[in-house]
Structure 1
Amino acid sequence: MKLLIAIVNNDDAYRVNTNLIKMGFVATKIASTGGFLMNGNSTFLIGIKDEDVEQVTDIIAHYSKKRVVPTPTDPVYNPASAGALPAEVTVGGAHIFVMDVESYKRV
């Protein structure tokens, strides 16, 4: 058995969750924050059989697309950037961790 932890941008979380459910996988979704822009994320905890790892990671990858968004530069941190055009930052995608589960009990 494996525990899959997937950190997904909130913009993609609904599609990821819906498609995991369609394929018969159950996940616990936790709100989280992080990354360069400190945007909202969703962290999914998914307990799966070893043979389902590839299918679940494929679902997450398919519905967690990277995209480039403009972000304003902050003159407080970089005075030379005052009046500069917004910087472009890549967001989205997913960070997936797969861990072995030593023991699992449902009580």
Structure 2
Amino acid sequence: MKLVLAVIQDADASALVRVLSANAFEVTKLASTGGFLREGNTTLMIGVTDERLADLKRHVQQTCRARTRLVTPGVSMGEQNEGLVSEPVEVPVGGAVMFVLGVQEFVKI
């Protein structure tokens, strides 16, 4: 048995929960905030048997897509030079980060 913590973009959360539920995966959804862009994301807690782990990874990979986004880099007031213009930078976002943890015991009451 495994516990999977999947951190995904909010934009993919509803679709992924729908796909996982339709395929008989039990999912608990937690709201979370990312540190990089300080935007909301979603963390899913999913209990899965070892035999179904590959199916879970496939569903996550097919549903959560990577994107690019334009971000204006933040420059603190102490570092700004007169006339300096911050140009937006394109950064990759999205996809999924999955942590797969071994579970010693699972009890459903």
TM-score by length of 2: 0.89
2:85 to 76, 83, 86: 83
Q: Tell me, in whole angstroms, the C-alpha distance in 2 between the residues paired with 1:98 and 1:31.
A: 19
Deviations 1:10-34 (A, max 9, x none): 0111111110011111100000011
Q: Which structure has the larger Rg?
A: 2
1:41 equivalent in alignment to 2:41: yes
Q: Tell me, in whole angstroms, the C-alpha distance in 1 between the residues paired with 2:93 and 2:84.
A: 24
Q: Tell me, in whole angstroms, the C-alpha distance in 2 between the residues paired with 1:84 and 1:40.
A: 24
* Equivalent residues, number: 107
Long gaps (5+) in structure 2: none
Deviations 1:20-71 (A, max 9, x none): 0111111000000113101111100011111000100111111111111001
8 Å contact kept, 1:29–1:43 = yes
8 Å contact kept, 1:66–1:91 = yes
1:50 equivalent in alignment to 2:50: yes
TM-score by length of 1: 0.91
Long gaps (5+) in structure 1: none
RMSD of aligned Cα (Å): 1.7
> Per the alignment, in what secondary structure is the counterpart of residue 106 of structure 1?
coil
User: 2:101 maps to which residue?
Assistant: 99
- Segments ≥4 residues shifted beyond 6 Å: none
